[in-house]
Amino acid sequence: MGLDSDFDALHGLACPAVRGTLARLPFPDRAFDATVCCEALEHLDDALFEPALHELFRVTKRYILLTVPNDENLTLSCRRCRRCGAQFHFHGHVRSFTADALRGLFQAVARGRVLCREARGIVPVAVFRQSRWLYRLRPEQIGFWIARKGARCPHCGFAGFDRHWRPLFRVWSLALKLANGVLHPVPYWRSCWLLALYEVG
């Protein structure tokens, strides 16, 4: 079943679709044996986060399955709008999660009626450790921001981000990456996402 707050996003779906939001699901209590919420919670601000958790708990009879990015450094994908000055994440992420945080995710809204059966990393990839002092030299860290193609400020709608600085940005970032590779040449395995399974009592 498709769910979105925008009618246009629901148009053309082959499956049944309803209009709604994660913070206000248009379904009765305990409507589903299992509820799956993938790559959504990281987009919710403080006003929507706890209501969304409550709604997931409310409509679920037995199991809740969640996936979120693993301990994401939100700064790395942030950009700053040159029109209004607002800083925003390119993918719209506003919060980061760890496995420990997921284990206690429903405590406030479910009062002990949701038990975390498992919270672990998935999709492991080889990555290199990041030098702290090289991290401070990243373009974003010293005020040099550039947006990817298609970026739009969610606060004022501005989309005219600089393009002529893109080659310099890439050379700068590549130089830092190569320097970091010299300092930390041995990769380690790190999970890109976290998966958590909950049982509703």
Q: What is the pLDDT of residues 73-89, one digit of tens each?
A: 898 788 888 788 888 88
Contacts of 170 by beta carbon, 8 Å cutoff, 6+ apart: none
The CATH code of the domain at 2-200 is 3.40.50
What pLDDT shows up at residue 18? 86
Q: What tens digit of pLDDT does each residue of 122-161 get?
A: 999 999 998 989 988 887 777 676 666 677 888 898 887 6
- Stated pTM of the model: 0.84
Name the average pLDDT for the chain: 89
pLDDT along the chain (201 residues), means of 10: 77 82 94 95 96 97 98 85 85 95 94 95 93 85 68 84 72 91 94 97 89
Domain ranges of the chain: 2-200
95, with CB counted inside 10 A (0-12, 13-18, 19+), is middle
Residue 191's pLDDT is 96
SS3 for 17? strand
Element containing residue 107 per DSSP (H, E): helix 107-110
